[in-house]
Chains A and B, each alone.
Chain A
Amino acid sequence: DVKVTQSSRYLVKRTGEKVFLECVQDMDHENMFWYRQDPGLGLRLIYFSYDVKMKEKGDIPEGYSVSREKKERFSLILESASTNQTSMYLCATSEGSNEQFFGPGTRLTVL
């Protein structure tokens, strides 16, 4: 079974703080993704990566950056957290065009 883990289930930060969300997968998948999910808006892609050190912007990259130094690890960085970044953050992996596997999510609250 694919295992995708995320560093925290719940996180509370203050406006202006730098926030790191980490995602680790154990199945050697090429593709990794970061989404945010908000009520009424569904899942929106922030960034994805198709290889180590490679990244592509998704639909809503503003205010975020990512890092993929190792194949199994994909980090999402909020350079200066703002209240409108309060959301559920979901990491996912896939191999080719096969289905995505999701981590348990991090519910981030920015005060």
Chain B
Amino acid sequence: RKEVEQDPGPFNVPEGATVAFNCTYSNSASQSFFWYRQDCRKEPKLLMSVYSSGNEDGRFTAQLNRASQYISLLIRDSKLSDSATYLCVVNLNNYGQNFVFGPGTRLSVLP
């Protein structure tokens, strides 16, 4: 079983749609969690950290369920500029030395 798994995608949605991505991780000792976005042929960039209580940043909401080892990302009112690959990232320890990346889910927002 892979350590971090994500919806396989791709997701093709119209502008204005709400879209949700799911991610599961296998190591219950995982300490910190992130969503990154990666544009085509560019480096990954942090979208948001994911906190136990859930957190929101504008149109983006992230949730963490430690009991189910599940992370989600919700994007409301999708924009064309949201088109990218979304990577779920889990850090297995407190020293920041063991980041595990999911395979990514590709999103295309269509006009």
Q: Which residues of A contact B (CB under 8 A)?
A: 30-31, 33, 40-43, 45, 48, 50, 56, 90, 94-105
Contacts and interface: CB of A to CB of B under 8 A. Distances in A.
Given A94-B96, A97-B32, A42 B43 contact: no
Given A48-B97, A97-B91, A100-B99, A90 B43 contact: yes
30 contacts: A30-B96, A31-B96, A31-B97, A40-B103, A42-B87, A42-B104, A43-B44, A43-B87, A43-B101, A45-B99, A48-B97, A56-B97, A90-B43, A94-B99, A95-B96, A96-B96, A97-B31, A97-B32, A97-B91, A97-B93, A97-B96, A98-B96, A100-B46, A100-B89, A101-B46, A102-B43, A102-B44, A102-B45, A104-B43, A105-B42
Contacts of A30: 96
Nearest to B32: A97
Contact of A42 (B34, B49, B97, B103): B103
A42 B94 contact: no
Interface string B69-111: 0000000000000000001010101111101011110000000
B1 to A, nearest CB: 15
Contacts of B46: 99-101
Contacts, number: 54
Contacts of B93: 97
A97 B94 CA distance: 5
B17 to A, nearest CB: 26
Contacts of B91: 97
Contacts of B99: 33, 45, 94, 100
A94 B44 CA distance: 14
A99 B43 contact: no
A59 B56 CA distance: 33
A104 B103 CA distance: 19
B94 A99 contact: no
Contacts of B95: 31, 50, 96-97
